[in-house]
Amino acid sequence: MSTSGSQLNMNNHPEVFRVRDCALVALATGLSAQNLREFRDGLQRVHEGSIYHHFWGRFLQSQFDEPEYNNDFASWIYHGLHEKALAERLSVIDPTEYDDIGSLREDILERVEERLDETEFVAWAKVDEQFQFVRSQIVVLDTGKIIERPESLAKAVSEMSLGSIFYHFIDARRRTPEKIDDFSAWLSDWGEKYVSLREAIMAIDPFFSSLKELRRIIAGTASLYMDKEAGRE
């Protein structure tokens, strides 16, 4: 799929935006934790893909619409270990503010180490409530749908599945050279006219909203921009 760079077709127009859908397949890592020390040790060893999964993978789970905590680590530390203070420290972490997963891992570890230094008592989770470090593999599907011009973006986004929103607005940040969403990358091919729309979409923080809310915000942003452009004509 060509969604970034100066990709032109034979008529010297940018390529169409090809809409994909996706699903995540969970994979076991073999690492688990029953207390905070074991959690720290697992966090140090686990593949970066697992950290990504525990922050972003839950977006495709139905209960994410109203999350109590914003990542799996914070949720387990609260529900499994009943460490409310640490859970709150981890819940406010926004992974979009980190340059890479390694930096994110280091910050989580620092907060966990601080909590371990604060107390001599180490809480244990029940055997059936251990934290299981999981990573995921993305399965990408071609929907057959396309967006030919930016004017069609708002309507197209409003009709996308949640899997499409995840793939194009969240997972894209791992794929595009500029580490941005596919919509913004595609709009860059359309020249100066759509710079402000591109910047507005890039400014949307994907982490503290559900996929349904992100779909509404992106579509609304594109629609508002097009309405303003129509009013200038």
pLDDT at site 119: 82
Do 117 and 153 share a domain, yes or no? no
Distance from C-alpha of 34 to C-alpha of 21, rounded to nearest angstrom:
36
Of the three residues 106, 135, 164, the one that is the final residue of a domain is: 135
Picking from 135, 159, 194, the residue at the C-terminal end of a domain is 135
Q: Which of 51-60, 67-76, 104-113, 197-206 has the lowest mean pLDDT?
A: 67-76
Cα(95)–Cα(116) distance, integer angstroms: 23
pLDDT at position 131 is 97
Is there a domain that residue 1 lies in?
no
- State the alpha helices, DSSP H only, in the chain: 36-45, 48-56, 72-79, 84-91, 101-118, 153-158, 162-165, 182-187, 195-202, 211-232
Residue 143 lies in a domain: no
Q: Which of 23, 59, 26 is CA-nearest to residue 132?
A: 26
Structure tokens at 145: 């749908």
pLDDT in tens, 168-222: 999 999 988 889 999 999 999 999 999 999 999 999 999 988 999 999 999 999 9
Name 183's Cβ contacts closer than 8 Å, sequence gap at least 6: 17, 153, 157, 168, 169, 201, 218
Of 105, 108, 120, 118, the C-alpha closest to 77 is 108
Same domain for 174 and 124: no
Specify if 73 maps to a domain: yes
End position of a domain, from candidates 104, 135, 166: 135
In a domain, 166, yes or no: yes
Residues 35 and 113 in one domain: yes
Read off the pLDDT band of 3 (50, 70, 90).
Answer: very low
Structural domain span for residue 189: 148-232
In a domain, 15, yes or no: no
CA 143 to chain centre: 21
11 assigned to some structural domain: no
Is 42 within the bounds of a domain?
Answer: yes
- Same domain for 93 and 158, yes or no, is no
Tens-place pLDDT, residues 118-146: 987 788 989 889 999 999 999 999 999 99
Q: Provide the 8-state DSSP code for 8.
A: B
Exposure string of 88-114, with b = 16+ CB inside 10 Å and e = fewer, is ebbbebebeeeeebeebbeebeebbee
**Number of domains observed in the structure of the chain:** 2
Asked, for residue 163, whether it belongs to a domain, the answer is: yes
Q: What is the DSSP letter of 207?
A: T
Residues 90 and 155 in one domain: no
Q: Is the pTM of this model over 0.75?
A: yes
Residue 18 pLDDT level (bands cut at 50, 70, 90): very high
Statement to judge: residues 174 and 198 lie in one domain: yes
pLDDT of 65 > 50? The answer is no
